[in-house]
Amino acid sequence: MKRWLGVALDSLLPPRCYACGTLVDRQGALCGPCWSGLHFITAPSCMRCGYPFEIGLDGHHMCGACLAHPPAYDRGISALVYDDASRALILGFKRADRLELAKPLAGLMAQTGRDLLAQTDLIVPVPLHRTRLLSRRFNQSAVLARALAQISGTSWTPFLLERTRRTPSQGGLSRAERARNVRGAFRVQPKAQAAHALKDKHVLLVDDVLTTGATVTACTGVLRKAGASSISVLTLARVVTPGQGPI
């Protein structure tokens, strides 16, 4: 029955590439040109933050940034490089209300982060401040986290972390300014913590884009204080900064 319903839906609404609208062979797929335009992050990469290396390396290596300043989280992975191709998808998803992109985008994240998901007890999205949530109408990180939970069968909660103050946009800020901007901006919501005891839990923190890591670092700190034994980070995309390669 499910198969026949799918055939009927495809006849009424032919499947189209979720990036450009070109006809494709199945729902929720990218066409060949759009797929080849995305830059997926694969090995070799930093064993701590997932930064992609341009050259092949033997063994496990850390990037220069992680060697100089190890991140607060235990491990980070991103599916895509944040560039023109991925930016168009991400902005379409979170600013053009294209919620139908959540499942295929989360699918890319699940494929890249399958090892992290296999070790995860609880998926937690980076929260929006309530005023920004009202204006945007949804939290893109929470929508991705829910889709990841559905794909992987892992527990999740959208309310564990709370943004206690509305911070200015991080756009255009330096690494140090971003860190100051979000310092003290998050807390673990007491009622949610009671429902989801964090002691000895392996938490997967989900966001759409990793830039300097200031936001996930701030979230990691409060999760660690609440008792989480490990915190990993999974994002859809990340900014790749020249000069962050292996040392």
Q: In sequence order, what are the beta bridge partners of 163? A: 186
Cα angle: 76, vertex 109, 189; to 5 degrees: 65
Query: So where are the chain's domains?
Result: 1-37, 39-238
Q: Is residue 97 classed as helix, strand or coil in its secondary structure?
A: coil
pLDDT tens profile 101-160: 999 999 999 999 999 999 999 999 999 988 888 888 899 999 999 999 999 999 999 999
Residues 167-207: pLDDT tens digits? 766 666 666 776 776 777 899 988 877 667 788 999 999 99
Pick the CATH number of 39-238 from 3.40.50, 1.10.3470, 2.60.40, 3.40.1350: 3.40.50
Closest Cα to residue 48, out of 210, 226, 227?
210
pLDDT score at 26: 86
Q: What is the pTM of this model?
A: 0.89
